[in-house]
Amino acid sequence: MSTANRFDIPTPEQTANVDAAIESRHSMRAFLPTPVARQVIEDILRVASRAPSGTNTQPWQVHVLTGVARQRLSDRIMAVYDDPTELAAHSEEYAYYPREWVSPYIDRRRKIGWDLYGLLNVAKTDKARMHDQHGRNYQFFDAPVGLMFTIDRVMQQGSWLDYGMFIQNVMIAARARGLHTCPQAAFTQFHRLIAEELQLKPEQQLVCGMSLGFADPAAVENGLVTERAPVAEFTRFLEG
């Protein structure tokens, strides 16, 4: 356990380490097969559980998949994903994205898509390769660890806000240990299949999935770093 005093002023080195963990985090889409020790996963989740939540409700529930369990889930999803008839029977349980896109959000969405496909030399008309690349989600981009996050259906919008902070903590704690992640809403389309495979209770709702492992430094797609708007673009300072 950490011996840091919660009232201490961080040293410049500590501040730089935290900033580095945050700024070096970006979604990886290709991982090495190198295993991640269970103790490391537990340490990441323990640290992440310090995320704030309204009245300390701690709404997160995590399902860790490795080895045969991870591969079995991937195989089941891919069998459906590659079958247009079967795929049509699966849809998201909640709307992650807006029903009507407006600028600047649609512009950012399009840019990351074409930036990724550009790195992979996937043409705009190459639907087969786009399908294959999207399907990489369901193979956890070859990461040895897959995480599934669920929440009790009784919890409301505020708890989903809390959940986002927990997921961010998972990703930052992973970076502090030399690991990378890819948070994946793509899994929500297959929530019924995932609930079956993980034997979830009816009151558990899938929030999203995540790939966790050591990033493949040779994979060209891992060179994609998305742009961020400058602080002045999304911030107002009201003084006096």
181: helix, coil or strand? Answer: strand
Note the pLDDT tens digit of each residue in 70-102: 999 999 999 999 999 999 999 999 999 999 999
Q: What does the domain layout of the chain look like in residue ranges? A: 30-96+137-220
Residue 238 corresponds to which tokens in the numbers above? 């009201």
Residue 47 to residue 174: CA distance in whole angstroms? 10
184 burial class (0-12, 13-18, 19+ CB within 10 angstroms)?
buried
* Prediction pTM value: 0.95
Residue 193: count other Cβ atoms within 10 Å of its Cβ. Answer: 17
Q: Which CATH class is domain 30-96+137-220?
A: alpha beta
**Which of 2-6, 115-119, 228-232 shows the lowest per-residue confidence on average (mean pLDDT)?**
2-6
Task: Note the Cα 215 to chain centre separation in Å.
Answer: 14
Mean pLDDT of 199-226: 98
Is the model's pLDDT at 4 over the cut of 80? no
Is the model's pLDDT at 2 over the cut of 60? no
CA distances from 156 to 59, 76, 97 (A): 10, 30, 18
Q: Which pLDDT score is estimated for 83?
A: 98
Is the model's pLDDT at 1 over the cut of 70? no
**For the chain, percent of residues with pLDDT exceeding 90:** 96
180: helix, coil or strand? Answer: strand
